[in-house]
A and B are shown apart, each in its own frame.
Chain A
Amino acid sequence: MPLKPLTSAQHEVEDLDAAIELYFQKGWTDGLPVVPPTEEKVARFIDAAGREPDEVIGLYPSRKRVVKVEKVAINAVMAGCLPEYFPVVLAIMEALTDPDFGLHGANASTGSMALGFIVNGPIRNQIGMNYRGNVMGPGNRANSTIGRAVRLTQINVMGSIAGAGNHVEKERTALDRSTMGQPAKYAGYHIVENEEDFPTMTPLQVELGYQREQSVVTVFPTSGHLQISAHTDNSGEAIVETIAHHLIGAGKVAARFAAVVLPPECMEHFVRDGWSKADIRKGIAESSTRTVAWAKQQGWAPTSGPIDRRGGEVLPGDDEKTINVGGKEHHIYVVSAGGPAGAFIHLLLPYGGGPISKVIRA
């Protein structure tokens, strides 16, 4: 079957090395070399996803952009994706352009927020994603390039040009005004759930109301993560206490979301002690509940804004008012992932907006 014709402008280059340089010159990269997107490669991506090039994935009203399949495919090729990864990239784009996501902050904020995504369901194994050691690190092509495709799409389709203090970068108006930026802005926090090794732990997409057979991606903006050591915690209860302690220590009243990525060493304790994911979520919420008076006296901000003032005068009634520093039960997403050794928990902190889940149409 012939591939579908594309409408994007074409640039003639001497050779593919020259193409890589062209993309640097134009400011179309994230600062790393890209795979030159030829028409045939891009068309194969669209074909693999069974989509139309001019199909609209979503809108970015703040910058008057329409996100279409063809442009996302071009950026996915540039990122180094394989065609079979493309449905995951498209599902992430659907989540980002959902009006409830809060996309403009993720594209523009001084808060340096990165994007995180959790992949569940059969597609993880079908495209060879890694959910064991280094799940969030380098080494796996699908994990790394799917997240990079999203970032390149933010840059080129949504106009989230990273500013270095200048209004214009390579003749394009800067939009991403991150004060510091962060490493996860290259490929995101790519999290893939291990649904195989702990069968009593309900996979995230099932907790969210989807079927186990459905492939789902859950996307969220995050200000970053904390690594928590739970090496001296030998029970589910002790691990939950440690997580709550660090959540409070982050000094942030979780707004609407926190993701807790638990490695096998910790999961084994929970399974042995008969805990479900719902129990873990409940335990974290309860262990991190404090009164407003306590939060003020300890110097934390008793509200959820990223730049809210901390501390403050204890007012009448503050002793009775409680806050869930770690978020309410349904705000906490528990995910199983990581390598077999090391009781290192990763805690993803919120930064407004999200999380949004979408079915991956593979």
Chain B
Amino acid sequence: MVIASKPTVLDPVEEPIVEPSVLAPRLDTLHGKVVGLYSNDKLNATKLLDMCEDLLHERFDLKGVVRGKYSSGRIMRRTEWEDVERCDAIILTHGD
């Protein structure tokens, strides 16, 4: 009697490439710093950032604020990235 071998099928899943990452150095204070406030441009995210900006100005003597938009679905343009590089700290809000 011939015993047929069992069929094999292929795995359809592509696993993500996970690269090790480290946190940026922490800041001691926001006094005298430039803070970036970035939203995904949805209504409530922008509203939350407005509140954050008011609070930050109340509590810290900021050097400046950069407002911007980000999307996890697209790569930032060079001019947008130059704005990011001006920031000492960034707060992201993600609304829907």
**B8, A78: Cβ atoms under 8 Å?**
no
**A157, B6: Cβ atoms under 8 Å?**
no
B2 is an interface residue with CB less than 8 A from chain A: no
Chain B positions 53-75 with a Cβ under 8 Å from a chain A Cβ: 71-75
A33 is an interface residue with CB less than 8 A from chain B: no
Q: Which A-chain residue is minimally distant from B5 (CB atoms)?
A: A12
**A62, B73: Cβ atoms under 8 Å?**
yes
Q: Which B-chain residue is minimally distant from A34 (CB atoms)?
A: B12
CB < 8 Å neighbour of B6 from A9, A12, A102, A152: A12
Chain A positions 60-102 with a Cβ under 8 Å from a chain B Cβ: 61-68, 71, 74-75, 78, 99, 102
A10 is an interface residue with CB less than 8 A from chain B: yes
Q: How far is the CA of A76 from the CA of B6 in the complex (A)?
A: 23
B22 is an interface residue with CB less than 8 A from chain A: no
Interface string of A1-16 (1 = CB under 8 A from B): 0000010111111111
Q: How far is the CA of A105 from the CA of B74 in the complex (A)?
A: 10
Contact A104 B11, CB 8 Å, known A13-B6, A110-B96? no
**Is chain A's binding surface mostly helix, strand, loop or mixed?**
mixed
Q: Which B-chain residue is minimally distant from A67 (CB atoms)?
A: B14
**A63, B16: Cβ atoms under 8 Å?**
yes
Least distance between B78 CB and chain A CB atoms (Å): 14
**B18, A64: Cβ atoms under 8 Å?**
yes
Least distance between B45 CB and chain A CB atoms (Å): 11
CB < 8 Å neighbour of A156 from B9, B14, B72, B74: B14
Q: Which B-chain residue is minimally distant from A39 (CB atoms)?
A: B10
Interface string of A159-197 (1 = CB under 8 A from B): 100000000000000000000000000000000000000
Contact A11 B18, CB 8 Å, known A62-B73, A99-B75, A307-B42? no
Q: How far is the CA of A13 from the CA of B71 in the complex (A)?
A: 43
Size of the chain B interface, CB-CB below 8 angstroms: 22
Least distance between B64 CB and chain A CB atoms (Å): 28
**A9, B73: Cβ atoms under 8 Å?**
no
Chain A positions 297-312 with a Cβ under 8 Å from a chain B Cβ: 305, 307, 309
Least distance between B11 CB and chain A CB atoms (Å): 4
Interface string of A273-305 (1 = CB under 8 A from B): 000000000000000000000000000000001
A236 is an interface residue with CB less than 8 A from chain B: no
Least distance between A206 CB and chain B CB atoms (Å): 29
Q: How far is the CA of A110 from the CA of B7 in the complex (A)?
A: 39
B13 is an interface residue with CB less than 8 A from chain A: yes
A227 is an interface residue with CB less than 8 A from chain B: no
Q: How far is the CA of A178 from the CA of B11 in the complex (A)?
A: 26
**A11, B14: Cβ atoms under 8 Å?**
no
B43 is an interface residue with CB less than 8 A from chain A: yes
**B16, A65: Cβ atoms under 8 Å?**
yes
CB < 8 Å neighbour of A12 from B8, B13, B42: B8
Q: Which residues from chain A contact B19 at a C-beta distance below 8 Å?
A: 64
CB < 8 Å neighbour of A13 from B8, B11, B16, B41: B8
Contact A307 B14, CB 8 Å, known A13-B8, A36-B7? no
Q: Which residues from chain A contact B9 at a C-beta distance below 8 Å?
A: 10-11, 13, 19, 22, 36-38
A28 is an interface residue with CB less than 8 A from chain B: yes
**A19, B7: Cβ atoms under 8 Å?**
yes
- Give 13 A-B contacts (CB < 8 Å), ordered by A residue: A10-B10, A11-B8, A11-B11, A14-B6, A23-B12, A39-B8, A66-B14, A66-B17, A71-B14, A102-B73, A104-B73, A156-B14, A353-B73
What is A's interface to B at a CB cutoff of 8 Å? Answer: 6, 8-16, 19, 22-23, 28, 36-39, 42, 61-68, 71, 74-75, 78, 99, 102-105, 110, 152, 156-159, 305, 307, 309, 353
7 extra interchain contacts, Cβ-Cβ under 8 A, other than A28-B12, A110-B96? A37-B12, A38-B8, A74-B10, A99-B75, A157-B12, A159-B16, A305-B41
